[in-house]
């Protein structure tokens, strides 16, 4: 007994340093303590039920409370709880690496395990740099990423992240990352006549950045198939193919950061398959285990591993817990569920149903744009639908932070109200959700957003 009342959240206020959380909020109100999950629902310490509209944090693809995954973890922990991948291997990591190689597109047959997404992104950049060094182009070291993108928080991954609010306190970051426009068509500054032309223009900005920096200095372009931060920004038709062509032209590696987009979120194992383009590296995490254990991976094209196989060479990189046996065993069981329950086909068949429920909200004056794909959507809130005028920082503060987030949760929907750029409500429910859950999401959003508009 510690003497702390954990269920009331006061111990969290005193001792638990929550992530990306305002400490002033912690000081004035106890944290909501979530104690249990079941299917698409989570329950707090008082027994209240909430629909998990964000799969935790874009993680819990197969839903909460899956005993198969708990049992897979227990079985592996009983057999071999831990062993590193430093010079030794263990069966779950070997089997999972082979399975991911089969699932990943093209020659992406080399799997480097990490414990999460930041480490996977970090690893991809390090591999790109080391690969070009080994192959006689040591100046190729820079990365290109898109405005408002999120790629993680470790210093390398944070440098690639394009969100000023996440970076400012930690400058100077790792040199050198160049930022290019994302593909937010609703907020475009370019006068493209249609989505296709806009996508070609956005891709060409990457070519321009490479030219500006000097092709001899650029190692890799990091892109999420659907960009999360900034509000579920899908790629225009033809965009990713064009990015691929540009990377080929300049001998730059294309890294698909699929930490969110992988494992069914977009109705395929990987977003690269959804949009039919071939990356050189995929970074993934989150849905790989549905969050029942922590695991990430960098899946690289075979040719990128070749230079490290010669003589006494090696890729001087690793993590104690990368490819942890328990996490790898959980990932295998999670892939069994995704495959057995045909969740990719299920998401593809239900994307438009989900979208349809959300698009009913277009009759509300505060709803400006609804965008996304798979089970991954963002709703952009506006002050004026016609002019697309957005909210001031102060209005966002009152509207999103003080009102909408809390009201949605109080009404039984856990999702994200993001005010780091344009105000967005993000939805990424577990892939097992059906029409009744989409209807529940729509009803709660309708009530809360209507009320928010009246308060404005």
Question: Residues in the site for ligand PLP, rule: CB under 6 A?
Answer: 116-118, 121, 150-152, 224, 228, 257, 259-260, 285
Min CB(179)–ligand PLP separation in Å: 15
CA 52 to chain centre: 16
| Complex with ligand PLP: residue 152 or 199, whichever CB lies closer | 152
Min CB(151)–ligand PLP separation in Å: 5
**Do residues 368 and 374 lie in contact, with contact meaning Cβ atoms separated by under 8 Å?**
no
| Complex with ligand PLP: residue 138 or 164, whichever CB lies closer | 164
Min CB(42)–ligand PLP separation in Å: 19
User: Which single residue brings its beta carbon nearest to ligand PLP?
Assistant: 117
Min CB(322)–ligand PLP separation in Å: 13
Which of 241, 163, 252, 245 lies closest to 213, judged by CA?
252
| Complex with ligand PLP: residue 150 or 198, whichever CB lies closer | 150
CA 41 to chain centre: 21
| Complex with ligand PLP: residue 256 or 444, whichever CB lies closer | 256
| Complex with ligand PLP: residue 173 or 398, whichever CB lies closer | 173
Which of 376, 338, 425 lies closest to 103, judged by CA?
338
Min CB(58)–ligand PLP separation in Å: 6
Q: Which strands form 296-301's sheet, in the order they lie side by side?
A: 108-114, 296-301, 281-284, 253-257, 218-223, 142-146, 177-180
Q: What is the dihedral of CA 377, 383, 389, 390, to 10 degrees?
A: -60
Min CB(153)–ligand PLP separation in Å: 6
H-type alpha helices, 317-417: 325-340, 343-359, 393-396, 405-410
> Is-cis flag, bond preceding 172, omega within 30?
yes
| Complex with ligand PLP: residue 257 or 380, whichever CB lies closer | 257
Min CB(367)–ligand PLP separation in Å: 24
Min CB(120)–ligand PLP separation in Å: 7
Quick check: helix, strand or coil at residue 390?
A: coil
| Complex with ligand PLP: residue 124 or 382, whichever CB lies closer | 124
Which residue has 């414990």 as its token pair?
A: 115
**Do residues 264 and 287 lie in contact, with contact meaning Cβ atoms separated by under 8 Å?**
yes
**Cα gap 196→7, rounded to integer Å:** 52
Min CB(56)–ligand PLP separation in Å: 11
| Complex with ligand PLP: residue 58 or 239, whichever CB lies closer | 58
| Complex with ligand PLP: residue 228 or 290, whichever CB lies closer | 228
Min CB(375)–ligand PLP separation in Å: 15
| Complex with ligand PLP: residue 323 or 368, whichever CB lies closer | 323
Q: What element of type H or E holds 380?
A: strand 376-381
Paired tokens of 294:
């922590």
String of DSSP letters for 160-199: H---HHHHGGG-S-SS-EEEE----STT--S--SSHHHHH
Min CB(115)–ligand PLP separation in Å: 8
**Cα gap 105→142, rounded to integer Å:** 25
Contacts of 196 (CB under 8 A, 6+ apart): 236, 237, 238
**Cα gap 77→62, rounded to integer Å:** 22
| Complex with ligand PLP: residue 92 or 152, whichever CB lies closer | 152
Paired tokens of 252:
């730059």
Between CA 95 and CA 102, with CA 101 as vertex, the angle to 5 degrees is 90
């Amino acid at each position: 007994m510690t003497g702390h009342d954990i269920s009331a959240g006061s111990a969290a206020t005193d001792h638990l340093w929550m992530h990306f959380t305002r400490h002033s909020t912690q000081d004035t109100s106890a944290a909501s303590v979530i104690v249990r999950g079941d299917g698409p629902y989570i329950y707090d310490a008082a027994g209240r039920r909430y629909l998990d509209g964000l799969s935790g944090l874009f993680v819990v693809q197969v839903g909460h409370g899956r005993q198969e995954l708990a049992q897979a973890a227990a079985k592996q922990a009983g057999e071999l709880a831990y062993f590193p991948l430093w010079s030794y291997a263990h069966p779950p990591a070997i089997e999972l690496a082979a399975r991911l190689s089969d699932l990943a597109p093209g020659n992406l047959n080399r799997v480097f395990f990490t414990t999460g997404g930041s480490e996977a992104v970090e690893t991809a950049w390090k591999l790109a740099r080391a690969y070009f060094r080994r192959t006689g182009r040591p100046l190729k070291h820079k990365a290109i990423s898109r405005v408002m993108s999120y790629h993680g928080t470790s210093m390398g991954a944070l440098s690639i992240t394009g969100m000023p609010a996440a970076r400012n306190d930690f400058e100077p970051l790792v040199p050198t990352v160049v930022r290019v426009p994302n593909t937010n068509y609703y907020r475009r500054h370019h006068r493209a006549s249609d989505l296709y032309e806009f996508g070609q223009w956005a891709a060409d900005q990457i070519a321009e950045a490479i030219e500006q920096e000097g092709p001899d200095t650029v190692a890799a372009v990091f892109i999420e198939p659907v960009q999360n931060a900034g509000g579920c920004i899908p790629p225009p038709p033809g965009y990713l193919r064009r990015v691929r062509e540009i990377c080929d032209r300049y001998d730059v590696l294309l890294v698909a950061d699929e930490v969110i987009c992988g494992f069914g979120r977009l109705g395929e194992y990987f977003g690269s398959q959804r949009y039919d383009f071939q990356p050189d590296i995929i970074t993934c995490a989150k849905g790989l285990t549905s969050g029942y254990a922590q695991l990430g991976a960098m899946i690289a094209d075979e040719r990128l591993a070749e230079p490290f196989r010669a003589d006494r060479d090696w890729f001087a990189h690793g993590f104690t817990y990368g490819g942890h046996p328990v996490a790898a065993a959980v990932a295998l069981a999670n892939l069994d569920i995704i495959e057995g329950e045909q969740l990719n086909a299920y998401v593809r068949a239900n994307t438009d149903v989900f979208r349809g429920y959300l698009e009913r909200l277009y009759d509300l004056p505060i709803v400006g744009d609804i965008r996304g794909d798979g089970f991954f959507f963002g709703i952009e809130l506006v002050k004026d639908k016609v002019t697309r005028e957005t909210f001031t920082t102060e209005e966002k503060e009152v509207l999103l932070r003080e009102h909408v987030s809390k009201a949605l949760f109080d009404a039984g929907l856990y999702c994200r109200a993001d005010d780091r750029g344009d105000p967005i409500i993000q939805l990424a429910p577990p892939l097992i959700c059906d029409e009744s859950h989409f209807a529940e999401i729509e009803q709660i959003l309708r009530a809360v957003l209507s009320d928010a508009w009246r308060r404005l």
